[in-house]
Structure 1
Amino acid sequence: MKMSRGERELQKQFGTEKRAGAFYKNQMTDSLTPRMADFIAAQEMLFISTADGGGNCDASFRAGQAGFVRVLSEKTLMYPEYRGNGVMASLGNISENPHIGLMFIDFTEHQIGLHINGAAQILEHDALSSLGFNDEEIHFLNEQEDGRAERWVVVTVHEAYIHCSKHIPVLRKHSDDYARDADDRKRKGGDFFEVKNK
């Protein structure tokens, strides 16, 4: 696990070295535990952070059915890329710089989070065989995704650690029909923030 020079310097400056040392020792790991794998399998949303080759950052959101992020081993997971706005900001960053941060947050049951940092690669469907999937398994994956997965992002885990429940709000989940039935053309049409005619 890599600790940056900046965090070490600030720990020293602000007197948090002992606390940080205990966290590194007791809460950080370089692979996924079985409990982490179970947690990931239950999540329906994911926040990701990427940066381009120059270090310019981007944060984004992914969501799907529970289990849309699949843990393949203690060191590997993958998630599908669905059709979006066509900008390819996150994938473009990954193509230049593989470093990625994943943030899973359970807002509704345990109010706990999981950070995963690692290296990402983009795989097309036919390249999933490089991970050991056979044609039948690849077909089954596509069926599970109802054909919506355009490609996949595979992440090699470098470090994983808890995001404690402090300050995580308790949210209530609505039915899937709640968002679909909302009659808000600005929200659905993508110009909620009134950028189009600026």
Structure 2
Amino acid sequence: MQDLGTNLELIGERGLQAVYGSEERARRFYETQMLDHLNETMREFIDRQEMMFVGTADDGGNCDATFRAGPPGFVAVLDERQVAWPEYRGNGVMASLGNISTNQHAGLLFVDFQDSIGLHVNGRATIVERLEHPRLAVDPAPGRRPERWVLVDVHEAYIHCRKHIPRLVKVPHDRSWGTDNARSKGGDYFGAAGGPAPVAPPAARRRWWHRLAGG
């Protein structure tokens, strides 16, 4: 068995396609499903979405996956090669933005659980303090306004097949925007507060935190 972790010739998706014999299937996917921009159907799809998942990593490879949501169109399609989403007041950790500040690669996943289909959008993310564009949506929640924006230059856009996506039905749900009330935010649902002492941030994140703290 080959050691895939140390053989540099096998690193990356194309190398593993050769190892596992999926080159032909991958070639068909690249040629028929992957674009370097958002076509009209993709743009209309994003305009309808109320949620997305965001994947980022810092310059040391420490990863983070998170969730963003808002009214339909909260992720604004500025044109066929750029999208932007608002960043609101959160828990103050800045995990995603901290990653983007050191490594601009970002992966977005939109999943429509009613149509049972998904869309991947990968590209270069940039944090901008202010953004003006006629396609930016205004959040209807009273007083809820972006603190900043993330702008993404699209490099790849492709389908996520519906085969294993469940079909879900929306139900009414009250949201407590901007609250610091622990119960409204989920409380200590996973029992973290009663566990052992918190761990330090990953090494790469710690380095940047130390620098920002003046160390």
Please state which band the TM-score falls in when normalised by the shorter chain. Answer: 0.7 to 0.9
Quick one: which amino acid aligns to residue 116 of structure 2?
A: Q
Equivalences for residues 164-183 of structure 1 within 5 A: 164-177=161-174
Residue of structure 2 equivalent to 1:120: 125
Instruction: Specify the SS of the correspondent of 1:174.
Output: coil
Query: Using the alignment, how far apart are the partners of 2:78 and 2:161 within structure 1?
Result: 25
1:159-193: CA deviation from partner (whole Å, max 9, x where unpaired) = 0000010100111111133x66xxxx757343110
Residue of structure 1 equivalent to 2:32: 26
Structure 1 runs (4+) greater than 3 angstroms displaced: 140-147
Shift of 1:6: 2.0
Quick one: which amino acid aligns to residue 197 of structure 1?
A: G
Residue of structure 2 equivalent to 1:190: 187
2:74–2:137 CA contact under 8 A, matched in 1? no
1:6-58: CA deviation from partner (whole Å, max 9, x where unpaired) = 21122112211111000000000000001000000000001000000111110
Instruction: Specify the SS of the correspondent of 2:43.
Output: helix
Residue of structure 1 equivalent to 2:64: 58
Shift of 1:144: 6.1
Query: Using the alignment, how far apart are the partners of 2:139 and 2:42 within structure 1?
Result: 25
1:64-106: CA deviation from partner (whole Å, max 9, x where unpaired) = 0011000001110000001110000000000011000000000
Quick one: which amino acid aligns to residue 174 of structure 1?
A: V
Quick one: which amino acid aligns to residue 96 of structure 2?
A: S
Quick one: which amino acid aligns to residue 72 of structure 1?
A: L
Query: Using the alignment, how far apart are the partners of 1:176 and 1:19 within structure 2?
Result: 42
Residue of structure 1 equivalent to 2:94: 88
- Report which of the two structures shows the higher radius of gyration computed on alpha carbons: 2
Quick one: which amino acid aligns to residue 114 of structure 1?
A: L
Query: Using the alignment, how far apart are the partners of 1:143 and 1:26 within structure 2?
Result: 36
Quick one: which amino acid aligns to residue 120 of structure 1?
A: A
Gaps in structure 2 of 5+ consecutive residues: 1-9, 177-181, 196-215
Q: How many residues align?
A: 180
Sequence identity (%): 56
Q: Please, what is the CA RMSD of the aligned residues?
A: 2.2
Residue of structure 1 equivalent to 2:116: 111
| CA separation of 1:24 and 1:46: change in aligned 2, threshold 3 A | same
Residue of structure 2 equivalent to 1:148: 145
Query: Using the alignment, how far apart are the partners of 1:100 and 1:170 within structure 2?
Result: 27
Instruction: Specify the SS of the correspondent of 1:12.
Output: helix
Q: What TM-score do the two structures reach when normalised by structure 1?
A: 0.83
Shift of 1:197: 1.9
Quick one: which amino acid aligns to residue 101 of structure 2?
A: S
Quick one: which amino acid aligns to residue 68 of structure 1?
A: F
